[in-house]
Amino acid sequence: PTIIDWHHCDATELIAARDSLKEKFAAQEVKLTYLPFFIKACVLALQKVPSMNAVLDMDKGEITYRKHFNIGIATATESGLIVPVVHNADQKSIFDLAIEINELAELSRSRKLPRDRLTEGTFTITNFGSYGSRMGTPIIRPPEVAIGGFGSIRDEVIPVEGEPAVRPVLPICAATDHRLNDGEHLWTFVRTVTDLLEKPTRILGYV
C-alpha cells in the first residue's frame, strides 16, 4: 500500500537563489537547474525522517535503514526511462551536484552509463517540471520505500501574510510505502522539503 502527499512551495526565494548562482556556474561551463536544490532538500529531509531512506526486501522479509544517501534521478531518454544514481549526495555541494547531474544525463542519453551508476539507490526524485508538467503521481521504485516528485513552477495567487498575492509556485509530491511509514512521516518529509526550498539559504550552506 502506498500513501501520497501533495504540497505547494512559494518558489520566490528559490528562483532568486538559483539566479544568483547561474552566472557563476555558467562561467565554469556548468548548467545549474533546480534539481541540485531538490536533491539537497530531500537529503536533509531524509536525515530528519530516516524511515523514508530505507529498502525493503520482501523475499527475505527484511527492512534496511540506509545511513548513506544515494539519490536516483528519473531521466527520460530515447530508449525509455533511466534512473542514474548520485551516490553519497549528502557529501556533495550544489556545484558538485550540478556537475554530476549534467554528466549523468549525458551518459544516460548516449547509453554510456556505467552499471554501477544505476545501482544502490536509496531514494528517487522525478522532476515532472523538466517536461513542463504541472504535477504527476510518482511511483516508488522497489526495493526503495519512497520517492519525491516536483512539478513546473508557475505563477499562482496564494495568501501572503493574509493577503492574496501572485507568487511562483512549485508543486511537490511524495509517496511512501505505508508498511514502513505513516502519514506523519510523509507529512514531516514533505513539509521539511517545502520549508527548505522556501528558505534556500539553509541549503546554500552546501554550495
CB 74 within 8 A of CB 108: no
Is 8 a known active-site residue? no
Residue 201: name the closest of 18, 67, 77 by CA. Answer: 18
Residue 141: name the closest of 41, 70, 189 by CA. Answer: 70
Among candidate residues 7, 8, 87, 178, the one labeled active-site is: 178
Residue 83: name the closest of 118, 54, 48, 50 by CA. Answer: 118
d(CA 8, CA 170): 6
Tell me the backbone φ, ψ of residue 204, rounded to 5 degrees: -65, -10
How distant is the alpha carbon of residue 130 from its chain centre? 12
**At which residue does the C-alpha cell 552499471 appear?**
115
Name the residues annotated as catalytic: 178
